[in-house]
Amino acid sequence: MLLLALFILLDYIITLSLVSNPTEEANVLARGFMEMFGVALGLTIFSLLINLPVFLILSLLAFYPRFSDFTPSRFAIPGLDIAFAWFVAGTHFSGALGWIMNGPTLLFQLTGAALYLDILFVLSIKRRQSLAKLSMQN
């Protein structure tokens, strides 16, 4: 959840620092919020509203198994990781990189998704190593 928040924050900070006029924003919804509330407040409201469902879903997924005997399939968690990588991390990475350089949006999105999955992979290896050390100590 923190990793997704960092991708979202990257897009937010770069967009906020480089937008001087709402017409520069390519996202029609974000532009509408910026025109209505001003650049900073409009972008903040838009970012909070558009990303709230993602964090609600992740919060439910994090706490739901504690209250139920529900066991997801072995494909559910990797599938969610791929979906969040493409639709959240990749999209926000593409949005941030689009302000810095011109290039193919699809390539930027693919790069962001791959970066997210790589970081997730490394973190899962580190977690397994620390759990193995803890089990060896006990």
Whole-number Å distance between alpha carbons of 89 and 3: 9
pTM of the model: 0.81
Domain extent, residue 49, equals: 2-137
Instruction: Report, in angstroms and rounded to the nearest whole number, the Rg of the chain calculated over CA atoms.
Output: 18
- Predicted pLDDT of residue 67: 59
Length of the chain: 138
The structure tokens listed for 136 are 């060896």
- Predicted pLDDT of residue 92: 92
Burial string for 81-112 (b: 16+ CB within 10 Å, else e) reads beebbbebbbbbbbbbbbbeeeeeeeebbbeb
Per-residue pLDDT of the chain (138 residues; tens, 9 = 90+): 788 899 999 999 999 999 999 999 988 999 999 999 999 999 999 999 999 998 888 887 777 666 566 666 777 778 888 988 999 999 999 999 989 998 888 999 999 999 999 999 999 889 888 888 888 876
Number of folded domains that form the chain: 1
